[in-house]
Amino acid sequence: MTNAAPKPNSYRNQPDAQGHFGPFGGRYVAETLMPLVLDLEKHYRAAQADPAFKAQFDDLLEHYVGRPSPLYYAERLTEELRMGAAPDKGAQIWFKRDELNHTGAHKINNCIGQILLAMRMGKTRIIAETGAGQHGVATATVCARFGLPCVIYMGATDVARQQPNVFRMKLLGAEVIPVTSGAATLKDAMNEGLRDWVANVHDTFYIIGTAAGPHPYPELVRDFQSVIGKEARAQMLSRINRLPDLLVAAIGGGSNALGLFHPFLDDDVKMLGVEAAGYGLDGNEHAASLLGGFPGILHGNKTYLLQDEDGQITEGHSISAGLDYPGIGPEHAWLKDMGRVEYTAITDDEALEGFQLLCRTEGIIPALEPAHAIAAVTKVAPTMDRDRIILANLCGRGDKDIFTVAEKLGVEM
């Protein structure tokens, strides 16, 4: 079924004019929001054509975010994994170090782009949803930087388990509203964000934190995050004059993965997206929408969703709050069905192993989200020849997660 679709000339010219990635994507929003979503697209097209917009975006990424982020050869991790591999096996492992960005994750790339767009549209109030709090912190950061009031919706469960990020957002001047509906996690925060937006369409811009939601969000978030892949591609060519053989990235909504993958989609480079398998894909306690879900409609787009036979959305689970979402950006749904990107899933326990391995071998404490990518790398690297190159996205640092990890490891803090 998945292989029946014709191979396109390019994988990089999605979505179509209506915001569809094949059967996925689209604009499934209430009529109140529809004119706004159309207006956003109009302004985004104008911004894309305006060299001043790009110049301002690039300038902020360089001097405020700290780009370009380094491309790093993880020598000791490579050697460690070779020890368990056949003599000629054990690919080289490289990282794109987006954890070194201001605020500690890739999320800020997108927030810079969207707040510039918001200001172009004359919007004076910013709202966002957050799960782990990384997108909330990044949004609060750019709001402080540009002096716009900021309201962050966060599930009450997440507020409780991500206290440091809640405090960061408040320091940055944001109002954090705990959401108690549903399971009080990311999807409920997104519902509440949409409710706020629908009631405040005249002055409010919704900064969505991943490559999902109604068109044009999946496209513009991908475009803003594509700085990751564009830099990595140029850095690879200038450092070793070749492209990697395999890209690996963790997937929550899919923005860091698309940011890395998209500029390479027409190259002879394999790609692996890593979903959260939680306690395992055989039960219901996971957040792997592509591997364990079915196509459906939620939060403005058609995509793979965790849902029951009646279309009720089921709660995901992952040790990583940033991956704990029952949907996925529509472009990933399309890339999966086209067979262009392969997807796998990593359990909580495997991610914890990957987390500790990177700490020990490279002196880098990763976030639990990229720890899933690292765990996947530990599985595939030993099966690949030594001259092969894996490039994984280190999309966030682990400061926010040390309490979660300590608890899992039985350490009293």
Partner 1 sequence: MTTRLSSAFPADRAALVCFVTAGDPDAASTPAILDALVEGGADVIELGMPFTDPMADGPAIQAANLRSLAAGTKTADILQIATGFRRRHPDVPLVLMGYANPMTRRGPEWFADACAQAGVDGVICVDIPVEEDASLGPALRAKGIAPIRLATPTTDAARLPAVLEGAGGFLYYVSVAGITGKQQAVQASIEEAVARLKASTDLPIAVGFGVRTPEQAAAIGRVADGVVVGSAIVEIVSEYGADAAGPVRDYVRTLADAIATARQTAAA
Ligand X SMILES: Cc1ncc(COP(=O)(O)O)c(C=O)c1O
Binding residues (CB under 8 A) for partner 1: these are 18, 26-36, 181-182, 187-188, 190-191, 194-195, 198-199, 201-202, 296-300, 302, 305, 307, 309-313
Cα separation, 259 vs 224, in Å, equals: 8
Distance of CA 405 to the CA centre of its chain: 21
Which pairing describes strands 300-305 and 24-28: parallel, antiparallel, or unpaired? antiparallel
- Please name the amino acid found at residue 29: V
Q: Whole-number minimum distance, CB 333 to partner 1, in Å? A: 14
In sign, the C-alpha dihedral spanning 367, 369, 375, 381 is negative
For 210, which DSSP code? Answer: S
Q: Residues with Cβ < 8 Å from 316, sequence gap 6 or more?
A: 276, 278, 286, 287, 289, 306, 323, 324, 325, 326
- Of the two residues 15 and 254, which places its CB atom closer to ligand X in the complex? 254
Strand extents, DSSP E, 253-394: 270-278, 294-298, 300-305, 342-347, 389-393
Distances (CA, A) of 321 to 115, 130, 156, 288, 398: 24, 9, 12, 13, 12
The item of ligand X, partner 1, none sharing an interface with residue 252, based on CB under 5 to 8 Å by kind, is ligand X
Q: Whole-number minimum distance, CB 229 to ligand X, in Å? A: 13
The item of partner 1, ligand X, none sharing an interface with residue 64, based on CB under 5 to 8 Å by kind, is none
- Of the two residues 30 and 160, which places its CB atom closer to partner 1 in the complex? 30
- Of the two residues 47 and 274, which places its CB atom closer to ligand X in the complex? 274
Q: Whole-number minimum distance, CB 200 to partner 1, in Å? A: 8
391 with 247: CB under 8 angstroms?
yes
Binding residues (CB under 6 A) for ligand X: these are 105, 107, 131-132, 134-135, 210, 250-257, 322-323, 367, 369, 395-396
Cα separation, 159 vs 186, in Å, equals: 10
Is 396 in a helix, a strand, or coil? strand
The item of ligand X, partner 1, none sharing an interface with residue 307, based on CB under 5 to 8 Å by kind, is partner 1
The item of ligand X, partner 1, none sharing an interface with residue 256, based on CB under 5 to 8 Å by kind, is ligand X
Q: Whole-number minimum distance, CB 294 to ligand X, in Å? A: 20
Torsion, Cα of 335, 337, 342, 344 (10° steps): 110
- Residue among 96, 341, 105, 369 nearest 229 (CA): 96
For 397, which DSSP code? Answer: B
Q: Whole-number minimum distance, CB 305 to partner 1, in Å? A: 7
- Of the two residues 133 and 214, which places its CB atom closer to partner 1 in the complex? 214
Q: Whole-number minimum distance, CB 131 to ligand X, in Å? A: 5
For 341, which DSSP code? Answer: S
- Of the two residues 257 and 374, which places its CB atom closer to ligand X in the complex? 257
The item of ligand X, partner 1, none sharing an interface with residue 251, based on CB under 5 to 8 Å by kind, is ligand X
Q: Whole-number minimum distance, CB 186 to ligand X, in Å? A: 8
- Of the two residues 103 and 303, which places its CB atom closer to partner 1 in the complex? 303
Cα separation, 5 vs 176, in Å, equals: 44
The item of partner 1, ligand X, none sharing an interface with residue 29, based on CB under 5 to 8 Å by kind, is partner 1
The item of ligand X, partner 1, none sharing an interface with residue 396, based on CB under 5 to 8 Å by kind, is ligand X
Q: Whole-number minimum distance, CB 12 to partner 1, in Å? A: 24
Provide the b/e sequence for 147-169 (b: ≥16 CB within 10 Å): ebebbbbbbbbbbebbeebbebb
- Of the two residues 188 and 275, which places its CB atom closer to partner 1 in the complex? 188
- Of the two residues 178 and 382, which places its CB atom closer to ligand X in the complex? 178
The item of partner 1, ligand X, none sharing an interface with residue 110, based on CB under 5 to 8 Å by kind, is none
- Of the two residues 282 and 309, which places its CB atom closer to partner 1 in the complex? 309
Q: Whole-number minimum distance, CB 222 to ligand X, in Å? A: 10
Cα separation, 378 vs 81, in Å, equals: 7
Beta bridge partners of 241: none
CB atoms within 10 A of CB 199: 10
The item of partner 1, ligand X, none sharing an interface with residue 27, based on CB under 5 to 8 Å by kind, is partner 1
- Of the two residues 36 and 138, which places its CB atom closer to ligand X in the complex? 138
The item of partner 1, ligand X, none sharing an interface with residue 280, based on CB under 5 to 8 Å by kind, is none
Chain residue at closest Cβ approach to ligand X: 396
306 with 278: CB under 8 angstroms?
no
Q: Whole-number minimum distance, CB 263 to ligand X, in Å? A: 16
